[in-house]
Structure 1
Amino acid sequence: MGCLARTFGFARLASAVMALFFCFSLSAHAAETFDKQPLTIVTKDGKSHVFTVELAVTPRQREQGLMNRREMAEDHGMLFAFGETRQVFMWMKNTYLPLDMLFIAKDGKVRAIKENAEPLSEAIIDSQGPIDYVLELNGGTVKRLGIRAGNRVQNELLESQRKAQ
């Protein structure tokens, strides 16, 4: 570094190194992109509610989730797929939207629901048992549509993973 510092001047070299570091850190934390699919929730009384969901299937996508978003269309959500049946712990860190979280088993049945998770909270939200998926919807959606544990979720990703296992 001494040779480079003499050639470019220490201040200029330090600025260049900081700029490179900044660029690399931005690319390392660049926003993930998400594929989208339709998803249907069928209630016990036979009503169907259709959503467009973004798929969070990779570790980086699941880590980012809906963090830093300020709005989401009423009929949209995010489906987290974990690739295995296990107990899941979620939180709302850096998430500005109140969310309803549906914890879903491999067979597509809703096992548990957390309504109106508090934005920006670091409190742990427990799936209350082993599940395979979490569906996040805008807070209040569960109550508005009468969604309950035992309802069935239908989606291409769920179907394809069920067939693969």
Structure 2
Amino acid sequence: MRFSLRPLIARCALAAALPLAAAAAFTLSTAATSTVAHAQQMPAGAKQPGEFPRVKLTAGMFVIDAAVAANDADREQGLMYRTTLAPNEGMLFVFGENAVHCFWMKNTLIPLSIAFMRADGTITDIDEMDAETTNNHCPRNNGVYALEMSKGFFSSKGIKPGMKIQGLPQP
């Protein structure tokens, strides 16, 4: 009796491929659900990104579109729950007192860079912050502003401590 192994091999390959395809579909579905879940975690009463006042800042030749967080509730929320930032978009934190203002990244889904500034806009410190961590990021110097941008923004633009940010609102 003669038989061919091709149908058997094809059936085995199909049988092996189906679980892999199902696993891949589950993984993609889970990733999409996870992304949606992150986007849906914004608590009731939290501001949507477009609801923050905005200001145009300049750092050398670079223009920055910054949302402004100038009160306790806005500073507490900051960039939490956001999943993206436009290339030159960030958030400016304005404080009423010249002090050391520390930050952390709890519920912040994207990695950020932060520049701490004095009242005259001079950058005193820059730090890199990983997403969803509770490490404290504190400047070594007192200041009244902090500007969060996508991670690596300041270094990629050559912006360093000692340089000034222009267009800051009054604290």
TM-score by length of structure 1 reads: 0.73
Q: Name the structure 2 match of 1:131.
A: 143
Q: Does 1:122 align with 2:134?
A: yes
Question: In 1, Cα distance between the equivalents of 2:44 and 2:78?
Answer: 13
Question: In 2, Cα distance between the equivalents of 1:49 and 1:84?
Answer: 27
Secondary structure at 2:110 match in 1: coil
Q: Name the structure 2 match of 1:31.
A: 46
Name the one with the larger strand percent. Answer: 1
Q: Does 1:58 align with 2:71?
A: yes
Unaligned residue ranges in structure 2 (runs of 5+):
1-42
* Seq. identity, %: 33
The partner residue of 1:86 within 99, 102, 105 is: 99
Q: Name the structure 1 match of 2:25.
A: none
Q: Name the structure 2 match of 1:71.
A: 84
Question: In 2, Cα distance between the equivalents of 1:137 and 1:105?
Answer: 17
Question: In 2, Cα distance between the equivalents of 1:98 and 1:148?
Answer: 19
Could you report, residue by residue, the CA deviation over 1:96-141 in whole angstroms, capped at 9, with x for unpaired residues? Answer: 11101000001110000002x1100001111112110000000011
Secondary structure at 1:63 match in 2: helix
Secondary structure at 1:102 match in 2: strand
- Structure of greater Rg: 2
Q: Name the structure 1 match of 2:163.
A: 151
Unaligned residue ranges in structure 1 (runs of 5+):
1-27, 43-47
Q: Count residues with an aligned counterpart.
A: 127
Question: In 2, Cα distance between the equivalents of 1:65 and 1:137?
Answer: 11
Q: RMSD of the TM alignment (CA)?
A: 1.5
Question: In 2, Cα distance between the equivalents of 1:156 and 1:135?
Answer: 10
Question: In 2, Cα distance between the equivalents of 1:111 and 1:151?
Answer: 8
Deviation at 1:29, TM superposition (A): 3.9
Q: Does 1:98 align with 2:111?
A: yes
